[in-house]
Structure 1
Amino acid sequence: MVLHPVTEEVEECMVSELIDPGLHCWRRDIIMESFQINDANAICKIPLSRRRATDSVVWLHTKTGVYSVRSGYHTARKVMTTKVWAESSSSAAGQQIWKVLWSLKVPSKLKVFGWRASHEILPTTVSLAKRKILDDDRCHCCKRFAETTIHAVWDCGVAQDIWAGSITPLQKWSTSYHNFRSLFESLMERLSKAELEFFLVQAWLIWNQRNAVIHSGQLMEPGWLNRRAEEFLAEYRKAQVVLTPSNGLSGSYVWRAPPSEEFKMNFDAAVFSDQHCSGFGAIIRNSQGEVMAAMSMGGATC
């Protein structure tokens, strides 16, 4: 593949014009004059067939080499998908979306959820049907429409019942979005950062409810999910507050953040004599002091 721009004359040039028919080798002098040096060297390294076979047109995307409308359609979709992925990572608009998403003060798993939803790689029934894993692509909750990402977390009637009781800016938001990314872009323009964080938490809970319906048939009451979103976000924000040890302890203890892109785990154990038991706890934080994971458990009885 030629990586550098060429002149119009070279664009119209046939490959056969670059080959010496008598010596059956590349016409190196013409190639060096017509192409950039790296492209020219790459062309000259391509081995030529010794069979002198007649040229023929071959479609690379079928086993037989024969073009079909079906293979053309799937190839076009693949090219467009690749283009969208490239634009989402490199374009100015794409960079802005990821900058906002990764800066939200929510657990990392929710940011990953938002990233996957924006790239349409959540395991929706539509996605699974395309992979021949499922035969039916209808939504598990409403049983009416094909379940895309935007349908599962926004358009579905079950999801809309939840959003209707959510924070005021989200209660009557439009449902005319083609995908999750376009919805997120619209929300970025009108919501505050705190409201955007709430949206991501609520969307994640709706997706989790969808999974619960599939695996256990359990459908939660919309009001409970709204309250849970508020509680979840409040609990996370409270956990982010860096607490310093009591001054009653001997010495001065100040938590120090680990280097960038590293994590620090702190742990401690205690014995409760009056209750005749012990306990253990651990917490993992990143270089900004954000809690990545935490746990506590009871120990042996005393």
Structure 2
Amino acid sequence: MAAREVIGKGMRWNIGNGKKVNIWTDKWIPNPDSFEIVSPRPPDTTNELVASLINPDIGGWDITTMKRIFLPHDIEAILSIPISPCLPKDTQIWTWTQNGHFTVRSAYYVARKWLMEGNHKADRGCASNSRKSRELWRSIWGMQCQNRVKQWRACKNILPTNYNLKISKVAIEDKCELCGISESSGHVQWDCKLAVDVWKETRLKLPRFQNPQRDFIDVVWRLRDARSELDWDCFATTAWCLRRNRNSVKFEGRCKEAKAIAREVNVDGAIFKELNSCGIGIVIRNDKGQIMGAMSKMLDQPLDALEVEANAVEEGVLLAKDLGLRYIIIEGDALMVMAALSGHTSPPSSIQHIIAGAQLWALSFSAWKSTHVRRNCNQAAHLMARNAKSLFECIIWVEDTPYY
């Protein structure tokens, strides 16, 4: 790699007033992957210079304008750039040293890094296609789950894995705490033995690749090519759980099995007659009563009470399965639905297929049972179902407590 190209790879703009820096073509984002904006350029935007994103009256970023133009990931990266109220001139810095000054040692690191990634990208072809890259990021931010679950950090390769920490001279060893192999983003969420076991337990039925995948983005690209109809929300949630487990191992010394244990899967439904639609609520707790997952989902269908309660049961079973649970107790306040699910009575014709589907999915658990509970014992799921009234489609929480 020529010296000029190495310098070009390592330089970026340090924003002062933004008058010298083009939003769409210059390197100015503090992101070691490319230093460039990922968001597709809106066809109607007139914003060309970074200066148009700065409010000179407050000496800071114009957040309203940025929300209209950029994806959440880019907004977060931009807001991490401090702006001086005096708005000095823009300057170029060498991004691979703390003080922004060029050193031969850091230049060697840059050359080595990009040579390795260049060879690696040659095997994945379509990743270099800018149109497909934008489509990928649109699909990531379009998923119906929390931003932190959407895997954008893993896809940008900015997770603090042991591999990345060793490259950055923060850590000495890059070995995985579980298997001793180099712990990259691809290893943690795909190739580690525990990850392999977890993916086998999901309903996604994903293909395995012959060679290990160092970067998680490579896994995503290959799966997009192989499985265009993949449930990406489920995929992202499972990958996020794997990363959470990695953090538990590293910082707390605790590792979950590939199949965790749950105590209760509470389900409920709600009808919104004025909207001609209904909502589903699910709350999953572990054997200690702690929330493992929750869902609030809008169904744009005029279902009756029996049908929406049956749908809630099937969605609850699927969510528990996606979380990799092994033993579950399904609890709901619709007596007829719960009796049909347990096999005590035949389900009405309107919900026969739904109940049969739930029973089929439930076969994947080592053990399960259903039980009827009173409404006052099912309040959490009821609140989640009522909350769906304000949603466009669905929100899923994983190991987190909903804010309402």
TM-score (norm 2): 0.38
Could you say which structure has the greater relative contact order, defined with CA pairs below 8 angstroms and 6 or more residues apart?
A: 2
Say which structure is richer in helix: 1
Say which structure is richer in strand: 2
TM-score (norm 1): 0.50
Whichever of the two has the greater Rg, that structure is 1
